[in-house]
Amino acid sequence: MTETTTEVERADLRASIRALLTAKSTGEQVLRAVEQPHGHDELLWKRMSEDLGLQSLSLPEAHGGDGFGQLELSVVLGELGRAVLPGPFFSSVVLAGSALVASGDEAAQAAHLPGIASGEVIATLAVIEHDGGWRTDGFLTSAVSTPGGWLLRGEKALVPDGDIADLLLVAADTESGPTLFAIDARDPGLTRTPLRTLDLTRRTAQVRFRDVAAVPVGPLGGATEILDQVLDRASIALAAEQVGAARACLEMSTAYARERMQFGRAIGSFQAIKHKCADMFARIELAEAAVVEAVRAADGADDAPPLGVAAAVAHSVCSDAFMFVATENIQVHGGIGFTWDHPAHLYFRRAKATQMMFGGPGVYFERLLAQLGV
């Protein structure tokens, strides 16, 4: 059972994160951070862990976490999205952390979760292959059992933070079916190639495995169920991040509309700008409602919709809303919104990347239909 917080405690958590990121993750600081060797501000990553305990918040108490649920995690993701923060939080805590918890493998959890919770270990989940789609079986990457242990062979095409992770959880095919494996990034058979992608703030790598030593996580043949659970929870976390980022875009737009003068008056007084901002606000409110319902489902509320349905709806609605708002934000800003120094492009890049993270609109519409039995 997860811990719960009061509304006041969540407000305090939000305020603490916002204060830190307002000081340490401005648009200029984000651009500097992505140029660092690891693609993020390592001192800020440490402060997130040591000062605020963000990495441990939603992980199990038995393994170094604080035991809170999806509601508290959504507060964190909302603020990280608002600051379009570079860093491995989503890959390490949300993807890898959720996979370890869903596996039910106590030995793997004891070995890996404390390091993730402390922020000392960066982990990731490697699922996507060359077709770019999220799947739960039919992997070309494979693992074979040998007298000396399991060996992993193959390639993953798009691994978030795959070039900087210390621990990789890899979905691979075996004779028993799709299975999740833990890989030490120091293995000499591992080749990691950073990729240049649209989203500057979220690193992605191609990872090749050549007889890499691997340790099964969870039951052999059990990856499908694990990955289904991860997808639901990761979709909700990503939706919360998208809403936080979209709100930041709206705040940018309304502030600029009040300050920018044209023809002797603020552009916010023009009907076209008013309509843009109103449409942005409406999309965000709808998206936030979808996140609230999905979070309730994830945390086991009795009157919540089925988790798979709620997660698919949240990902669909929030991806669409963020993409719309990030685009309109650039339009409201006019020429300055297209410049490198203005942060609007960072949000637009993140919007498109998150929209496509689990396969794009067509994939999650099909997933929603499948959840509804259509």
What is the bridge-based pairing of β-strands 123-126 and 167-172?
parallel
Q: In degrees to the nearest 10, what's the CA dihedral of 132, 137, 138, 139? A: 60
The Cα 19–Cα 13 span in angstroms is 10
For residues 125 and 170, what is the distance between their CA atoms, to the nearest angstrom?
Answer: 6
Specify the CATH class of 124-221 in words.
mainly beta
CATH class, range 224-371:
mainly alpha
Return phi, psi of residue 65, to 5°.
-95, -175
Indicate the SS3 state at residue 199.
coil
CA distance 81 to 75: 10
pLDDT in tens, 323-355: 999 999 999 999 888 898 899 999 999 999 999
Domain boundaries, the chain: 7-121, 124-221, 224-371
With contact defined as beta carbons under 8 Å apart, do 193 and 149 qualify? no
* Nearest residue to 13 via CA among 71, 61, 63, 65: 71
Cα 258 to Cα 268: distance, rounded to the nearest angstrom: 5
Instruction: For domain 7-121, give the CATH superfamily.
Output: Acyl-CoA dehydrogenase/oxidase, N-terminal domain (1.10.540.10)
Which parts of the chain have pLDDT scores under 70?
1-2
